[in-house]
């Protein structure tokens, strides 16, 4: 049974890395003392070691150890043996390129589909959708495909941001960008605000946190849905 947390962000304003999620993560990863960390998205170009140290520090607060996938000689074997997986945020293009290059994309997909608990934040959440085509990131490198895990039958837009009222900037708003996505693609998009996450248990997808999420379906007006709403109707 799939057991996944798809979080908009690792960090909410004025708070420590992962702090708002720790009570949830204690339950989520209760069957393991060690988490396999995927640092490939490298926010601000941070090294795999430094990024793993950051995750380690946060998980220590709930008594868990963290190992970076780059520490293993055989990353695919590391995924197969992991009892819990966490993919951190950063640049989605770089993350997806590395997942394909190391062929861990299929390994993680299989493991998580077979029940290994997974946590994604930001870029690590974006890849839980059908494609990475609703990322906010800059395309700083060219991945071999935009196809991602597809743990949910829709796309994720993490760090969802409402239009800024009274803005004089002529660049596209987030909503305009997602509407452009829907001129070429049919799958729904869940705009997840910072502090929200989707809890996946088997075929049940529930919005968690205190904020509403914004749901975009092709050919429909976008709607706000409340926390604890089941998202299973989206496909």
Per CB under 8 A, which of residues 118..177 are in contact with a second copy?
132-142, 145-146, 159, 161, 168-172, 176-177
- Least separation in angstroms between residue 16's CB and a second copy is 12
- Residue 182 is among the residues annotated as catalytic for this protein: no
What is the rounded CA–CA span in Å between residue 110 and residue 196?
26
Cβ contacts of 147 within 8 Å, gap of 6 or more: 130, 131, 132
- Residue 203 is among the residues annotated as catalytic for this protein: no
**In the numeric block, which tokens belong to residue 31?**
């069957």
Taking the least distance from each CB to a second copy, the nearer of 73 and 138 is: 138
- Residue 15 is among the residues annotated as catalytic for this protein: no
Taking the least distance from each CB to a second copy, the nearer of 11 and 104 is: 11
What is the rounded CA–CA span in Å between residue 109 and residue 67?
19
Per CB under 8 A, 210 contacts a second copy: no
- Least separation in angstroms between residue 149's CB and a second copy is 16
Query: What is the total count of residues that contact a second copy (CB under 8 A)?
Result: 44
- Least separation in angstroms between residue 81's CB and a second copy is 30
Best CA proximity match to 190, nearest among 119, 134, 122: 134
**In the numeric block, which tokens belong to residue 167?**
């803005």
Per CB under 8 A, which of residues 28..57 are in contact with a second copy?
42-45
**Strand locations in the chain (E):** 3-7, 34-38, 65-68, 85-87, 118-121, 155-157, 189-191, 197-201, 204-208, 213-216, 223-225
Of the residues 8, 28, 125, 159, which is catalytic?
159
Strand ranges across the sheet with 155-157: 155-157, 189-191, 213-216, 223-225
What is the rounded CA–CA span in Å between residue 50 and residue 40?
12
Of the residues 125, 137, 182, 196, which is catalytic?
137
Of the residues 122, 125, 182, 196, which is catalytic?
122
- Least separation in angstroms between residue 163's CB and a second copy is 13
Per CB under 8 A, 94 contacts a second copy: yes
Residue of 3, 9, 104, 116 that binds a second copy (CB under 8 A): 9
CB 85 within 8 A of CB 36: yes
Active-site residue numbers? 122, 137, 159
Residues near a second copy, by CB under 8 A: 9, 11-14, 42-45, 90-91, 93-94, 132-142, 145-146, 159, 161, 168-172, 176-185, 194
């Amino acid at each position: 049974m799939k057991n996944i947390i798809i979080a908009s962000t690792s960090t909410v304003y004025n708070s420590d890395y992962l702090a708002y999620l720790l009570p949830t993560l204690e339950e989520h990863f209760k069957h393991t003392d060690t988490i396999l960390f995927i640092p490939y998205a490298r926010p601000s170009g941070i090294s795999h070691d430094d990024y793993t140290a950051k995750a380690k520090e946060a998980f220590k607060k709930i008594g868990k150890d963290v190992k970076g996938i780059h520490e293993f000689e055989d990353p695919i074997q590391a995924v197969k043996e992991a009892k819990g997986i966490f993919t951190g945020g950063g640049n989605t293009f770089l993350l997806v390129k590395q997942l394909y290059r190391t062929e861990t994309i299929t390994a993680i997909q299989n493991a998580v589909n077979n029940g290994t608990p997974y946590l994604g934040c930001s870029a690590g959440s974006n890849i839980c959708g059908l494609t990475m085509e609703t990322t906010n990131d800059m395309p700083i490198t060219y991945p071999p495909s935009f196809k991602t895990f597809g743990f949910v039958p829709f796309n994720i837009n993490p760090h969802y941001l409402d239009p800024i009222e009274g803005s004089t900037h002529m660049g596209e708003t987030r909503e305009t960008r997602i509407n452009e996505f829907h001129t070429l693609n049919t799958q729904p998009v869940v705009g997840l605000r910072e502090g929200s996450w989707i809890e996946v248990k088997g075929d049940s997808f529930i919005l968690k946190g205190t904020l509403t999420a914004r749901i975009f379906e092709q050919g429909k007006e976008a709607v706000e849905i409340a926390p604890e709403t089941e998202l299973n109707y989206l496909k």
